[in-house]
Amino acid sequence: RRLQQTLAKDASKKRCYDFLNMTSRSFAAVIQELDDELRDAVCLFYLVLRGLDTIEDDMTLDLDRKVELLRSFDQIIYKEGWTFNENGPNEKDRALLVHFDVVIAEFLRLKPEFQAVIANITKLMGNGMADYATGEHRENTSVATIKDFDLYCHYVAGLVGYGLSDLFAASGLESEEIAKDKALSNSMGLFLQKTNIIRDYREDLDDGRQFWPREIWGKYADKFSDFIQPENKLKAQYCLSNMVLNVLDDVPQVLTYLSKLRNQSVFNFCAIPQVMAISTLALVFNNLDIYHRNIKIRKGEAVKLILDSTDMDNVVSIFRHYVFEISRKNEATDPNFMEISMAIGRVSIQV
């Protein structure tokens, strides 16, 4: 019997890692390289939030039902055997929800401290997503002010930073200090999320979503979709540089956070997505292709970045390189030229 139980446990853990590899292009590898004390907790944190985000992203789900699921997801993860049975788009991430009982079974095997961190963040994120799906913040799935933009990114990414820092501390691999400065953890998430939102302009537009704040894009066009028109090229370039300027704000905090890490596997896990993001930011800057298709850094460049992100000195060099690329592409005729130069100046102190 005991052997049978052990085998069943191993099978459901393996299925969780299969789901991780299936649903994440970017995080699967770095999560699996984490030290034993953290690997399962971060894997389950990822899968729980991936499940939550799949509900948020499902545009076929009845809005009232969506909000009910988002607001109660922190309780659903304690319901042994719960699965998602509703119809929905047949995308790959939906399979995760259909078999969510497997994720719940493994979640319930985590240390109670880890469970508490994951449930707390799930509750805050689910309620934040629900507010944006219904509330005054987000009529017609659009974000009005820069403050709204920061708050939405806080809900879907800054909170992931809070939760990860709490897990690092709870594992004992990092000191409690890392979880104390919430602004630093928040910036770690915002930098990834905002870069993703810039890069995904066209994909999100085609899906009927707008995440760029009107306070920024409204300076350059009347309609968010105007930027795809060839006659608006210059406006599109200036709007994009304004968005890049907004993201550059978080770079100093990202470097400060990374400099505080002590565990090698945690450092790699945190640093790799951030160097991918700064390289993506340099690639998208003044690159009007983002208005037409999904652009990505070349595979070879990504592999090199992963191999090079081994310590703070190397990460600083990588940031210096890409920030210099941005400064090289910065044009004096761009209305954001001066502010971009100043933002780069603030980063230069650290690199």
Binding site for Mn ion (CB under 5 A): 53, 56-57, 196, 200
Any contact of residue 277 with ligand PS7 (CB under 6 A)? no
128 touches which of Mn ion, ligand PS7, none (CB within 5 to 8 A by kind)?
none
Q: Are 247 and 339 within 8 A, CB to CB?
A: no
Q: How far is the CB of 27 from ligand PS7 (least distance, A)?
A: 5
Any contact of residue 315 with ligand PS7 (CB under 6 A)? no
d(C-alpha 339, C-alpha 336), whole Å: 5
The smaller minimum CB distance to ligand PS7, of residues 165 and 241, is found at 165
Query: Which sign, positive or negative, has the C-alpha torsion 30, 32, 37, 42?
Result: positive
Any contact of residue 114 with ligand PS7 (CB under 6 A)? no
- Closest C-alpha to 121, from 161, 179, 153: 161
**Around Cβ 129, how many Cβ atoms within 10 Å?**
25
Q: Is 209 a catalytic residue?
A: yes
49 touches which of Mn ion, ligand PS7, none (CB within 5 to 8 A by kind)?
ligand PS7
Residue written as token pair 């649903």? 23
- Report residue 184 CA to chain centroid gap: 15
Q: Is 1 a catalytic residue?
A: no
In one-letter notation, the amino acid at residue 346 is R
Contacts of 270 (CB under 8 A, 6+ apart): 164, 188, 257, 258, 261
The smaller minimum CB distance to Mn ion, of residues 67 and 170, is found at 67
Any contact of residue 132 with ligand PS7 (CB under 6 A)? no
Q: How far is the CB of 338 from ligand PS7 (least distance, A)?
A: 29
State which of positions 33-52 bind ligand PS7 (CB under 6 A). Answer: 42, 45-46, 49-50
d(C-alpha 42, C-alpha 230), whole Å: 44
**Around Cβ 14, how many Cβ atoms within 10 Å?**
11
Residues that bind ligand PS7 (CB under 6 A): 26-27, 42, 45-46, 49-50, 53, 156-157, 160-161, 164-165, 185, 188-189, 192-193, 196, 200, 270, 273
